[in-house]
Each structure stands twice: as C-alpha cells, then as structure tokens.
Amino acid sequence: MKRFLKQNIVILILLNSGNLFNYLFQMVVGRAMSPADFGSFNALNSTMVIFSAPLAIVPLVIARFTARFVLTDMGMVRSLLGRALALATGLAAVAYGLGALALPALQSFLHIETASPILLMLGVMAGSFILPVPWGMLQGLQRFTGYGIAGASNACFRFLGALLFVWGLSLGINGALLSSLTGIAAALCVNFLFLRDVVPVPSSPLPQGLLKEVGTYSVGMLLSSIIVMVLGNLDMVLVRHYCDAEGAGLYATAAILGRIAFYLPSVLMSVLFTEAASAKESGRNDLSSLWLSMGMTAALGGGFALFCLIASDFVVHLLFGAKYVAAGPLLSVISAAMALLAVANILFVYFQARSEFGFVWFQAAGVGLFLGLTYFYHDTPMTVAWLLFAGIAVMLAGSLLWLLGRVRARRADHAGA
C-alpha cells in the first residue's frame, strides 16, 4: 500500500505539472497571435481532438494487456509493442492520407487560406496515433516515474516550442502546430528511454485470439469513455440550446471552473488501473487500492468543491472578473457534480481494468436520466446544473451497489470452493 500511495503522489505531481505547461502554452500562443489567428489555431486543434478522440482508450488497452503479459513472458510484451506500433503507424499514415485528400474541404470549412497549417495539424494527429502505444506500455509495466515524465514532457516541450516558434520566430499558427509536433517527438523519446530494456528482448508469439479479445475489450472501453465525455461536456451544449445567451455564458464560466474538481484528481486513475489489472491476472480481489484511490479522489475533488461552495463568488471574480460573479451559485453545484463524477470514474476505471462492463448500464441510466429530465425541465441554467448532479449521483450509487454485489458473489464463490 505504501508503494501504491507513492506512485499516486508521483503521478499527481508529474501529470498535473503537464497540465500547468498546457495552460502556459495557451497563454504564450494567445498573447503572441492576433485573435483571428488564435481562433484559427484552436479550431484546428479542436478538429484534431475530435478526429482522434477514440485514441484516448489506447493507453488503457495497451496497459491492460501489458499487465497480463508481464506476469508470464516479457517476450510477449515485446511482441505487443512491435505489433501495436506497426498498426498505429499504419493507421497514422492512412489518417494522414485521407486528411490530405480532404484538404480542400477542410480549408473551406475552417476558412484557412493556406494548406500548411492543415498539413501540420494532420501531422500532429498522426503522431497522436503512435504516442499512446509506448505510453500505455509504461503504465502497464508500472513504471510510473517514466510514465509521468513522458506525459509532462509532451506539454513541457510543447510550451518550449511555443517560446521558440511562436514568440521568438513569429511563425504564428504554423509555429504553434510545430510546437505540438515537438512535444510529441520529445514524449516519444522519453517513452522509449524508459522502455530501452524491452526493445532488445526476443519476441514471443502472442496468444491465439488476442486481436478479437482486444477488439471486444476496446468496444466496452470506448462506450464507457464516451458516456463520461458526454457528461463532462453536454450540459453546456444543452444550456446554450435551452437558455438565454447570458445564462449560457454564466453557465460556461461555472462549468470551466467546476471541471477542475474532475480533472485535478483524474490522473490518479492511471495507477489504480494497472494495479487492478495486475490483481485480476494474479487472482487477487483486494479492494484496498480502490478504496484508497476513491478516498484521495474524494479529498481532492471534494475539497475543491467545498472551497467553491464557501467562496464561489470570490473564485469567479478573481479569475473572470466582476461581470461573471453571478455564476458563483452555479459553480457550487457544478463543482460538486464534477467531484461526484471523479469518484464515479475511479469505479469505472477499476471495472475496466478487470474487464467487467456491467456498470455501463448504470452509466447509461445516469445519462438517460439527465437527458430525459432536461428535455422537460430546463427553465434556468441552475435547473440543468442540478439535473446533472442528479444524473451523476444515480450513476455513482448504481455502480457502488453493483460493486458490492460483485464482491458478495466472489466471496460466495470462494466459500463454496
């Protein structure tokens, strides 16, 4: 347990330092560009994020199967690395080629006059296909210092690239995208530095039917991840659709700040995922790592939500100015909802690591409740905020009950044996 706690602290510091560099990157780029260019860059960046959104599950999938193979044969870990890199590189080339073919349509839709920013954006997207493979392997091998440094180095070198290409050389949008490529290249180098002992290992044959198993597992992971992403973003869309523009602006302000309660502790899931996957493969059912992760998440996310409850007006005034102070009450509710979602997400990650996807029904129930009630009750942004809270609370309660049911069933099976 001491090792598990130490790993969480390392990840919390390193990955959140990466988040800080991401924020500094946006500040440098925003100050060095005109508003029009800054808007174009973020439109390109958002387009890339949308197209590559399914890749978010790749590190977890790689980590899940690495955690299995490392218990029996490092040769299979080496084979997984080679196969996954070859597949990722092939998909990256196909994605880049399809994007290049769609270049005129992308230029027209995004109102980009020259082709070079879009070609660079496609390069960043191609790099995003490859980077998750070695990064996920570090997670599966429980090399969390390397995992954290690799994650932070991407953001750090992206920021340093912005200082050089955008601030120093005044390359504008192209410079910002070159900075992103620099971050990816640096992160790949760091990843392989920490995997240098794996590369020379002789490859061993992978188990029969692995591709089918990976595909089935990925479907469950993708579905669960999409539901969490929907709950973390759809509320702003619905408020903009149902409420007046001023109310939507206040809600967006509160939502941006309130999501800190989710993102601040979310880095802890990396350690829990690998610990739970390793325990599953070893036949262990110890829940101590789960309870510790949930406790740390509740302390971080809940602590931020409590601070927002006490000083929401001060937080909004400090960060956004006096004209947004009316968003304070919304911040109190949304931050509490996001803290609940962070705790629920720890449960989801635990189930994902154990390849137990029955909890998705409770995820779907929470989203369905939120969407259904919002359809009928959407008079004010505060109403939507409370419905979001209710949907997440139902999801968390259902998942906890399902966990307790699984634990009771395991104990019954063990007693019967």
What contacts 87, CB < 8 A, 6 or more positions away? none
Q: In this model, does residue 127 exceed pLDDT 90? A: yes
Q: What is the pLDDT of residues 132-191, one digit of tens each?
A: 999 999 999 989 899 999 999 999 999 999 999 999 998 989 999 999 999 999 999 999
Q: In this model, does residue 113 exceed pLDDT 60? A: yes
- DSSP-based three-state secondary structure for 72: coil
| Mean pLDDT, the chain, whole residue set | 86
Give yes or no: residues 132 and 234 share one domain.
no
CA distances from 96 to 105, 121, 132, 154 (A): 14, 9, 17, 21
Question: What's the length of the chain?
Answer: 417
CA distances from 23 to 166, 172, 351 (A): 15, 18, 32
Scan for tokens 């508003």, then name that residue.
Answer: 35
What contacts 147, CB < 8 A, 6 or more positions away? 11, 135, 138, 139, 194, 270
Give yes or no: residues 180 and 248 share one domain.
no
Cα angle: 269, vertex 274, 280; to 5 degrees: 120
Give yes or no: residues 265 and 382 share one domain.
yes
**Is residue 366 exposed (0-12), middle (13-18) or buried (19+ Cβ within 10 Å)?**
buried
Give yes or no: residues 215 and 186 share one domain.
no
pLDDT band at 287 (very low <50, low <70, confident <90, very high): confident
In the chain, the amino acid numbered 12 is: L
Scan for tokens 């992103």, then name that residue.
Answer: 180
Domains of the chain: total: 2
Give yes or no: residues 93 and 142 share one domain.
yes
Once rounded to an integer, what is the mean pLDDT over residues 220-233? 78
User: pTM value?
Assistant: 0.78
Give yes or no: residues 225 and 369 share one domain.
yes
What contacts 278, CB < 8 A, 6 or more positions away? 67, 71, 142
DSSP state, 167? I
Q: Which pLDDT score, from 0 to 100, does residue 417 have?
A: 54
CA distances from 199 to 68, 132, 162, 265 (A): 18, 17, 32, 33
Q: In this model, does residue 23 exceed pLDDT 80? A: no
Give yes or no: residues 137 and 39 share one domain.
yes
Q: Which pLDDT score, from 0 to 100, does residue 275 have?
A: 82
Give yes or no: residues 174 and 290 share one domain.
no
Q: What is the DSSP track for 207-225? A: PTTHHHHHHHHHHHHHHHH
